[in-house]
């Protein structure tokens, strides 16, 4: 929970620290009691478990089938890494997709649903402070959503068990999934405090999630079109391709496959670093970029390329973030590494922006919960 403590609306906490937390806990208890008694939640959880299991099994089966086919029709044998990485990636992508779909449903009617049921004013008239109500609703929604992640943990662990991955991957992946779900829950709770009707706030929250997942891609794509620029670069002299051969020496991999010479000239290019922050806000980018992967060594063909979806997403985003300064061949007369090291992570920026958005919505929601209320949204009754 520490990743959310910097959301700006936390009221001046001095004086009522313990009492404030106790109030939040009481609201969480009230919320969770209701959620645990609704059958729909269990049904969704069961469907979730079965679906994730099915996806895991199908991924494993298709990997096996592919392997059989390769064995039968060619002599080519890919490096035997086991299906772990693939299952892990597919399950992770699937779990993140469904978490992003489930979290708004669990959070986006938290406040205005109570308002419609007439129970919000009953809370507001007690000694509870608006922040306690809002945080309580948020943590309850988050806890309910985390149950879905817990249900999918076995399948992520299967990915490890089948080889190729370490427990660390599962831990980091689960942690980042939990944080992403938390961000969506905070957005949902914030919007539900602002919007009058539950249906409206749920739709808006889904749109916000769609904005993060697809909108960030579209915005990045459109943004790059507007980010034309130039870069000073000279000529790249590529090495003789005949020399390319499997190089067992690992140090060679870090060396670029070309040398730079000649005068620097302005070359047209796209300054992707100006719009890469939009890409960074994508939940998939945040999760993929946070998961550690070993810096790829020369894969045996002189060229190193990312392996697997997670790594590709992460590398692609970092490539965009680095911009031509870091990626254009011979920019400023320097050879650039083909592969961007993990030392420049992108996810803190993306997560920071997401937290900023969630924090802003929570703060606006908090404002709308203050009593005695001065302004009411059009058409809403307080009780």
Partner 1 sequence: MTENWDQIGIPARPESPRRDGISASAVSRRFGQVHAVEHMDFHAPAGRVTALIGPNGAGKTTLLLMLASLLAPDSGTITVDGLDPQHHSAEVRKRIGWMPDTLGVWESLTAREILTQIARFYQLPKAGIPQRVTAMLERVRLSDLADQPARVLSRGQQQRLSLARALIHDPSVLLLDEPASGLDPGSRVELRVTLRQLAAEGKSIVVSSHVLSELDEIADAAVFVNQGKTVRHQTTDEASASGRRYAISATDGTALAAKLTELGLAFRVEDGRRPAVSLVLLNDDDAARLLRDLVLAGVGVSSFAPASGALEETYMNLEGERR
Contacts with partner 1 by CB under 8 A lie at 19, 23, 26, 29-30, 33-34, 37-38, 117-119, 121-128, 371-374, 376, 378, 382-383
For 179-193, letters b (16+ CB in 10 Å) and e give: bbbbbbbbbbbbbbb
Residue 82 class from Cβ within 10 Å (0-12 exposed, 13-18 middle, 19+ buried)?
middle
Rounded to a whole number of angstroms, the distance between the first and last alpha carbons of the chain is 32
Q: State in angstroms the smallest separation of the CB of 358 from partner 1.
A: 26
Q: State in angstroms the smallest separation of the CB of 204 from partner 1.
A: 23
Q: State in angstroms the smallest separation of the CB of 363 from partner 1.
A: 20
Phi, psi of 266 (to 5 degrees): -75, 125
Check if the beta carbon of residue 189 is closer than 8 Å to that of residue 107. Answer: yes
Based on CB atoms, which residue is closest to partner 1, 34 or 344?
34
Based on CB atoms, which residue is closest to partner 1, 123 or 185?
123
Based on CB atoms, which residue is closest to partner 1, 99 or 134?
134
Distance between CA 118 and CA 369 in Å, rounded? 14
The C-alpha torsion from 252 through 256 and 257 to 258, rounded to 10°, is -130
Q: State in angstroms the smallest separation of the CB of 89 from partner 1.
A: 39
In eight-state DSSP terms, residue 4 is G
Q: State in angstroms the smallest separation of the CB of 374 from partner 1.
A: 5
Cβ of 306: how many Cβ atoms within 10 Å?
17
Based on CB atoms, which residue is closest to partner 1, 332 or 380?
380
Q: State in angstroms the smallest separation of the CB of 127 from partner 1.
A: 5
Based on CB atoms, which residue is closest to partner 1, 305 or 371?
371
Q: State in angstroms the smallest separation of the CB of 143 from partner 1.
A: 17
Check if the beta carbon of residue 264 is closer than 8 Å to that of residue 232. Answer: yes
363 alpha-carbon distance from chain centroid: 22
SS3 category, 297:
coil
Distance between CA 292 and CA 307 in Å, rounded? 13
Pairing type for strands 228-238 and 258-270 reads: antiparallel
Based on CB atoms, which residue is closest to partner 1, 33 or 71?
33
Q: State in angstroms the smallest separation of the CB of 138 from partner 1.
A: 17
Distance (Å) of CA 345 to CA 279, 305, 354: 13, 18, 16
Which runs of E-coded beta strand occur in 219-332? 228-238, 258-270
Based on CB atoms, which residue is closest to partner 1, 129 or 336?
129
Based on CB atoms, which residue is closest to partner 1, 189 or 279?
189
Based on CB atoms, which residue is closest to partner 1, 32 or 236?
32
Polymer length of the chain: 383
Q: State in angstroms the smallest separation of the CB of 71 from partner 1.
A: 56
């Amino acid at each position: 929970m520490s990743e959310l403590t910097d959301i700006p609306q936390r009221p001046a906490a001095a004086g009522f620290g313990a009492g404030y937390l106790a109030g939040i806990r009481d609201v969480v208890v009230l919320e969770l009691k209701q959620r645990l008694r609704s059958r729909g939640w269990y049904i969704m959880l069961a469907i979730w478990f079965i679906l994730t299991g099915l996806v895991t099994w199908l991924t494993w089966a298709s990997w096996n089938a592919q392997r059989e086919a390769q064995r039968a029709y060619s002599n080519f044998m890919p490096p035997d890494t086991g299906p772990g990485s693939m299952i892990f990636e597919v399950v992770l992508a699937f779990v993140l997709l469904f978490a992003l779909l489930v979290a708004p449903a669990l959070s986006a009617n938290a406040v205005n649903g109570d308002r419609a049921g007439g129970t919000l004013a009953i809370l507001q008239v007690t000694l509870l402070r608006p922040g306690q109500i809002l945080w309580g609703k948020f943590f309850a929604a988050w806890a309910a959503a985390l149950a879905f992640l817990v249900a999918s943990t076995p399948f992520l662990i299967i990915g490890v068990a089948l080889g190729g991955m370490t427990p660390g991957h599962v831990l980091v992946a689960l942690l980042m999934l939990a944080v992403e779900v938390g961000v969506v829950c905070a957005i949902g709770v914030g919007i539900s405090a602002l919007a009058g009707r539950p249906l409206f706030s749920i739709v808006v929250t889904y749109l916000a999630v769609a904005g993060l997942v697809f909108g960030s891609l579209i915005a990045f794509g459109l943004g790059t079109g507007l980010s034309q620029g130039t870069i000073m670069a000279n000529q790249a002299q590529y090495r003789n391709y005949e020399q390319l051969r499997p190089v067992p020496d690992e140090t060679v991999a870090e060396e670029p496959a070309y040398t730079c010479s000649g005068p620097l000239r302005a070359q047209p290019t796209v300054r992707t670093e100006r719009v890469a922050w939009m890409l960074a806000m994508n939940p998939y980018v945040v999760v993929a970029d946070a998961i550690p992967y070993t810096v790829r060594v020369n894969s045996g063909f002189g060229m190193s390329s990312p392996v697997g979806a997670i790594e590709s997403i992460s590398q692609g985003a970092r490539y965009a973030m680095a911009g031509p300064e870091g990626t254009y061949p011979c920019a400023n007369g320097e050879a650039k590494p083909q592969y961007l090291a993990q030392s420049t992570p992108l996810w803190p920026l993306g997560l920071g922006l997401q937290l900023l958005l969630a924090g802003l919505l929570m703060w606006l929601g908090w404002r709308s919960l203050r009593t005695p209320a001065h302004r009411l949204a059009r058409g809403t009754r307080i009780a």
